[in-house]
Amino acid sequence: MELKEVCRLLKRPFSKQRLLTTCFHSPPHVFFAGRIASFDSDVYEGRWNSVLHASADLLELANILVPAWSKDAYLLHQDPGRANRHDDEDANDSRGRGVQIKRVDNAIRSPWFWCCTLVSDFLGEILIHLTCWVESCPCHGAKLQCFGSSRLAGNERKRILHGGRRCPLFSMRAAEASAGASASVGVECATEGWTHEDLGTSMGKAG
């Protein structure tokens, strides 16, 4: 999975430092080095939630990473311990498992990769909408707006559910769900979100 490899590049101390040294050492990219340094997401395929978090975190770096990334510059920086090695993998890992740079390079330069990441994030946002709908109540009418970002939607969900007084009818959605309302909420979110300005803008920037 390309998402996993790109996250490995950004998370592992050795590859992160190497990336900062080679691709984020001069203006204007150096101004965003802190954002790269603070990236801390990893992907565990067995947990869908880790994919969603990683997608959201990575999308926030898309406009920073894409223009700064250079496979040639990255590989030019040789580890003194393996000075003659010039291959497509950073094997500098205690378990001998490094970052597959060729896959990382293909992913970062691929609009398809960023679109897939954006779709993952969007699916996560739909799940958050459904969660928020289930946990809220029918009487207070709070409706989560589409943001084109699962992170923003997640923050808004917390504000709606925990930002004011709790209603006794919170999470009492069984009757509506049995009538099919939850499905319509999901469809409505998907329809609104797919045409949302932020979603289109994000896709354009990432591509």
What's the closest the beta carbon of residue 192 comes to Zn ion, in angstroms? 23
142 is a contact residue toward Zn ion (CB under 5 A): no
Give the SS3 label for residue 133.
helix
Cα separations in angstroms, 195 against 130, 146, 199: 18, 10, 7
Contact residue for Zn ion among 1, 30, 76, 139 (CB under 5 A): 139
What's the closest the beta carbon of residue 188 comes to Zn ion, in angstroms? 20
143 is a contact residue toward Zn ion (CB under 5 A): no
Query: What's phi and psi for 47, nearest 5 deg?
Result: -125, 110
Contact residue for Zn ion among 1, 30, 169, 183 (CB under 5 A): 169
Q: Which of residues 107-126 bind Zn ion (CB under 5 A)?
A: none
134 is a contact residue toward Zn ion (CB under 5 A): no
Contact residue for Zn ion among 33, 115, 142, 167 (CB under 5 A): 167
What's the closest the beta carbon of residue 142 comes to Zn ion, in angstroms? 8
Distance between CA atoms of residues 56 and 53, nearest Å? 5
Q: Which stretch binds Zn ion (CB under 5 A): 21-29, 80-88, 107-115, 163-171?
A: 163-171
**Are the C-beta atoms of 115 and 66 separated by less than 8 Å?**
no
Q: What is the largest CA-CA distance in the chain?
A: 68
Query: What's phi and psi for 99, nearest 5 deg?
Result: -100, 130
Kindly calculate the radius of gyration of the chain based on its CA atoms and give it in whole angstroms. Answer: 20
- Residues in touch with Zn ion (CB under 5 A): 137, 139-140, 167, 169
